[in-house]
Each structure stands twice: as C-alpha cells, then as structure tokens.
Structure 1
Amino acid sequence: MKKIIVLFLVLVQTVVFAQQKKAKDNFNVQIRLEKGDLNKDGLADKTVITMDTIDASVPLRLQIFFQQPNKKFKLVFSSTSVIEPQYINGIHTKNSIPYFFIEGGYLLMNSEKNDVRFEHKFIYKNGSFQLIKISSVVYDGQNSTTETVFDLVSGVKTATTTPLGSTKESNKYTNKIMIRPLPTLQNLKSFGNKLYW
C-alpha cells in the first residue's frame, strides 16, 4: 500500500511539474519561420517568431538558431522585447508583425510602425547581431514620399524627398551621426527613436 501511495505522489508531482514548466512557455503558436546562413558556415540557420496566446498583451518572441554540423539547432538568441506585443493596455497597436529574412549572411528585419516602413540590417559579429543599416519610407499623405537610409558603420544618413506625379526634382539631405558602439539586436529597444532622427 505504501508503494502505491509513493508511486501516486511521484506521479502527481511529475504532472504538476510538467504543467508548471509548460505554463512558463506559452509561446506556442509559430507565426514566422525563415532559414538561411547567418554565420557563414554553409549551414542553414533559422529565425522563429512565436506568439504567446495566453497573455492578454499577446507578446511575440524572436528566437535565432544556428545549425550545427550534426544538423541540430543551437539557440543563440531569444527575446520577447525586440517585437512589440500586439496589445498595449488592451488596445491593439495596429503595427505589423516584423518579417525576418536571412540574405547574404545578413539578418534583415522588415517592419511597419505608425505607417512608416522600416528595414533593419544586422550582421552577426563577436557573438551579437550588430545593427549596421536602417532604411525607412514615409508617405506624407499628400504628394511626396521620403526615403531615409542610415548607414551606421559610416555614420552617413541620407533623406530623399520625392514629389509624386510631378516633374519637380527630389530634395536630398545628408548628415553624419556616429553611434558607437553599434546597437545590437539585444539592445535595440533601449535605443528607441534616437536611431531614427
């Protein structure tokens, strides 16, 4: 009888532990998966975006995995702060869920925030994903678009405003802003709008 009680208690404890462990990781819906070689070793790495379906703010998690020679994937980056949750104080942000692409050894993040389209370009170096370029396109809602390209390595930022449906020439403005050390994917959120203007 004692053996049955002990076995029962062990079983109950195992089930409770499994439920607690599962409850901690509610990022159970995969939103996006992209593959490509990020660390230039000839193996297909991957980025995965998952959604927490339990939390009312509907947070999103970005994870990056490097494929190992044995074909298994090693987690090298995981964050729930890179991508804004879908809801803030119960209100939908209306911002799109970013797309992460791997092209030519670079990690590209395409996103839209407050009707502005952004592309962030990262390179994997010294154990982190360093931001090396930001570009954006803004439509003024009337008759022109402004494309801004900020090369963080050289510090050169160029903004070009182009009138739509007009023979007027584009206006181009260039300035130099040096940011050191380069922001990383790990600390991107802490830089906020300082990176843009």
Structure 2
Amino acid sequence: MKRVIIINCILLHFFANAQKTNIKDPFNFKITEVKGDLNNDKLDDKVIVVQDTINEFGPFKLEIFFANSKGDYKSMATSTKIIAPKFPNGRDGFLSGNSLENITIKKNILIVNYGLLRGHLEHKFRFQNGNFELIGYSAAYLDNPEIIRIIDFNLSTGIRIEKLGKVGSDEVKIKPTKKIVIRPLPKIEDVEPFENDLY
C-alpha cells in the first residue's frame, strides 16, 4: 500500500511539473516590431508588441530587447500597461475607438503613439538610471465638440504647457505654464494610458 502511495505522489509531482513547463506565453500574436539604438551603443535594439488574442480583453505586451555585438538580444523591460487592451470592457462591451498607432525609435528615445477616437497621445521613454523612464508626454484631443485641448509635458524639466483651441478657429488660449516635478520619473512598466491626469 505504501508503495502505491509513493508511486502516486511521484506521478502527481511529475505531471504537475510537466504542466508548468508546458504553459505557453499567452501573448503569442505579433503586432509590430521596430529596431533602433536605444542605449547609444550604435547597435540596433528592438521593441516587440504582442497580443493575447484568447483573453476577452485582448491585452498587449510591449517588450524591449538590447542587442549585443554577437547579434543576440537581452530582454530589458516589459510592460502590459503602456498599451491599453483592445477590448477594455471585454469582447461583448463597446469599443472605445482608442488603439496603438505605432512605435518608433528616434535619437535613442522610444516613442509610443496612441490614437484616440478624436485625438492622439504620445509617450516618450529614455533608457536612464537602469530603466526606461518617461521623459515626455503630449496629447491633442477634443475636450468637447468645440474645444481642442493640447498638452505638452516635459517630465525631465517638469514644464507642462496646455493650450485650448476652438474648432474651426485659429484662436488659441494658452493656460499658465505649470512646473510639476515628478521624481523618480515613471518607468515604462508602470505607465498606463487614461489612468493619470498628468500623463
């Protein structure tokens, strides 16, 4: 009897470990991949965006890889927040009209462009202090059917400029410039669109 119990325990342990190793990454559908130098070493690093198409919210994952001189890549940062899910209220809910436009790399800066139903968001990240930190945020969107709100926030300096324009008019009202110092700067892993009034 003891032998049967021991064998059953061994088999149970074996199958439990086998199931763990067979679990695949649910983010298996590639949306985009871009290359460019992110750490100023003259090598083309890469950023990949993948989606979990099984999950009812359709979440995305952005992963950043640094290249080395041998042509290999090392994962440096991963975010499942910086790109809002495709179905924020589930597949049976309404679509928000918001979606990823593109990812670009310019002058060692990673730029995530996000389209709104009536506007646009842009987040800029630089690799510094061992992390990808948010250094810039800009937005332009309809605040109501008549007013366009434009925001430019340089998180490195803390300078935040906000403008209001009337649809169909060249008239622009510039609100008083604010200095908002955020330290430490937000990391890409923690930045989530629409969850913060500042960025």
Partner of 2:6: none
Give the direction of change, closer, same or farther, for the CA distance of 1:190–1:147 in structure 2 (3 Å limit): closer
Partner of 2:192: 189
Aligned counterparts, 1:100-119, within 5 A: 100-113=103-116, 115-119=118-122
Contact 2:135 / 2:185 at 8 angstroms: preserved in 1? yes
CA RMSD in angstroms, aligned pairs only: 2.6
Q: Deviations over 1:20-53 (max 9, x none)?
A: 5453312211001111100010001111011112
Displacement of 1:70 after TM fit? 0.3
Contact 1:183 / 1:191 at 8 angstroms: preserved in 2? no
> Relative contact order: is structure 1 or structure 2 higher (C-alpha 8 Å, sep ≥ 6)?
2
Q: SS at the partner of 1:43?
A: coil
Q: With structure 2 as the length reference, what TM-score do the two structures score?
A: 0.79
Contact 2:84 / 2:192 at 8 angstroms: preserved in 1? no
Partner of 1:170: 172
Tell me how far apart the structure 1 counterparts of residues 147 and 198 of structure 2 sit (CA, whole Å). Answer: 23
Give the direction of change, closer, same or farther, for the CA distance of 1:112–1:43 in structure 2 (3 Å limit): same
Tell me how far apart the structure 1 counterparts of residues 168 and 85 of structure 2 sit (CA, whole Å). Answer: 38
Partner of 1:3: none
Partner of 1:47: 47
Residue identity matched to 1:40: N
Residue identity matched to 1:26: P
Q: What's the % identity of the aligned pairs? A: 35
Aligned counterparts, 1:104-183, within 5 A: 104-113=107-116, 115-140=118-143, 142-166=145-169, 169-173=171-175, 174-183=177-186
Tell me how far apart the structure 2 counterparts of residues 27 and 150 of structure 1 sit (CA, whole Å). Answer: 32
Contact 1:110 / 1:117 at 8 angstroms: preserved in 2? yes
Displacement of 1:191 after TM fit? 9.5
Q: Counting helix residues as a fraction of each chain, which structure ranks higher?
A: 1
Contact 2:82 / 2:193 at 8 angstroms: preserved in 1? no
Partner of 2:97: 94
Tell me how far apart the structure 2 counterparts of residues 26 and 139 of structure 1 sit (CA, whole Å). Answer: 35
Name stretches of at least 5 consecutive residues in structure 1 with no aligned partner. Answer: 1-12
Partner of 1:5: none
Q: SS at the partner of 1:57?
A: coil
Displacement of 1:114 after TM fit? 6.1
